[in-house]
Amino acid sequence: MADVLRVSGLSKHYGRLEAVRGIGFSVRAGEVFALIGPNGAGKTTTLRMVATILQPSAGAIELDGIDVVSDPASARARLSYLPEEAGAYKSMRGREYLRFMAEVFFDDRERQTESLASAAEISGLGDRLDDKIGTYSKGMARKLLLARAIMTRPKLAILDEPTSGLDVLGALDVRDTIKEFTRSGMAVLLSSHNMLEIEYLSDRVSVIHQGTIHATGTPAELKERFGADNLEEVFAEVAR
């Protein structure tokens, strides 16, 4: 399948600190692509640049044929971003939040209603959607935000640690939902610290350490290359 996202030579400086140092990768339609690496490796920084909310110091990002750096507005209509540890407006009810997001995203009423209905289903919150978000547990809020992120059926969903804070069942649920959505062609770029999840979910993985990509491949390829039994060993090998 065709590449939805192409990243090349991407760098980001925070003052003197170079958080991302000339990385490149690409994500195909319907593919789940994961970034793994130790804390402070530059995963979130990379995802934020792809999501148009940080400007790269150097490099190119192309999403669905659009230059993300020079035309962020068009890119935003094609992507969705779930920030790490994000919250929602606590005084809103769950359904109200989803409707607000749908209304911001789509001009078309029908598509608004459609995405609202699909989000209600994805979230699995049922009647609790009519409660204030302030009363939700961490996992419930995360599910609501994930539903928000994929309800618009973007070309690319950027999910920063999508299952952090979820219990085992919740995480399984979320993984299944993500898988299901990729079947209709949505590409996913995510980061995670859960290697089990990465192995189950990702088609391809990049291991990033100190702002540089050290290896990219399917979980099977990576394990073979590093002579490891699982991704955790691969991770440890690279991070050392």
Ligand X SMILES: Nc1ncnc2c1ncn2[C@@H]1O[C@H](COP(=O)(O)OP(=O)(O)OP(=O)(O)O)[C@@H](O)[C@H]1O
Residues contributing to the site for ligand X (CB under 6 A): 14, 17, 19, 37, 39-45, 84
- The angle that helices 94-105 and 109-123 make with each other, rounded to 10 degrees, is 140
- Neighbour tally for 126: CB within 10 Å: 10
Q: Which of 5, 23, 34, 44 binds Mg ion (CB under 5 A)?
A: 44
* Single-letter code of the amino acid located at 100: F
The residues in 168-187 that bind another protein, with binding defined as CB under 8 A, are: none
The residues in 142-171 that bind another protein, with binding defined as CB under 8 A, are: 145, 148, 158
**Position 110 contacts another protein (CB under 8 A):** no
Which strands make up the sheet holding 79-82, listed edge to edge? 79-82, 156-160, 187-191, 32-36, 204-209, 212-217
Look at the alpha carbons of 176, 218, 27, 47 in this order and tell me if their dihedral is positive or negative: positive
Compare residues 164 and 217 and give the one whose CB is closer to another protein: 164
Whole-angstrom Cα distance, residue 114 to residue 112? Answer: 5
**Cα separations (Å) of 123 from 8, 150, 202?**
34, 10, 21
- Site mask for another protein (CB under 8 A), range 26-65, x = bound: ----------------------x--xxxxx----------
Q: Which of 36, 63, 66, 88 binds another protein (CB under 8 A)?
A: 88
Q: Which does 17 bind (CB under 5 to 8 A by kind): another protein, ligand X, Mg ion, none?
A: ligand X
Whole-angstrom Cα distance, residue 132 to residue 93? Answer: 4
**Position 100 contacts another protein (CB under 8 A):** yes
Stretch that binds Mg ion, among 9-17, 35-43, 131-139, 192-200 (CB under 5 A): 35-43
The residues in 82-121 that bind Mg ion, with binding defined as CB under 5 A, are: 84
Q: Which of 83, 124, 165, 217 binds another protein (CB under 8 A)?
A: 83
CB of 74 to ligand X, least distance (A): 25
Give residue for tokens 């407006």. Answer: 89
Q: Which does 77 bind (CB under 5 to 8 A by kind): ligand X, another protein, Mg ion, none?
A: another protein
Q: Are 208 and 55 in contact (CB under 8 A)?
A: no
Dihedral of CA atoms 63, 65, 67, 72 in degrees, nearest 10, equals -60
Q: Which does 167 bind (CB under 5 to 8 A by kind): another protein, ligand X, Mg ion, none?
A: none
Compare residues 40 and 134 and give the one whose CB is closer to ligand X: 40
CB of 81 to another protein, least distance (A): 4
Rg of the chain over Cα atoms, rounded to whole angstroms, equals 18
Whole-angstrom Cα distance, residue 63 to residue 78? Answer: 8
Per CB under 8 A, residues contacting another protein are 14, 48, 51-55, 73, 76-77, 79-92, 100-101, 103-105, 107, 145, 148, 158
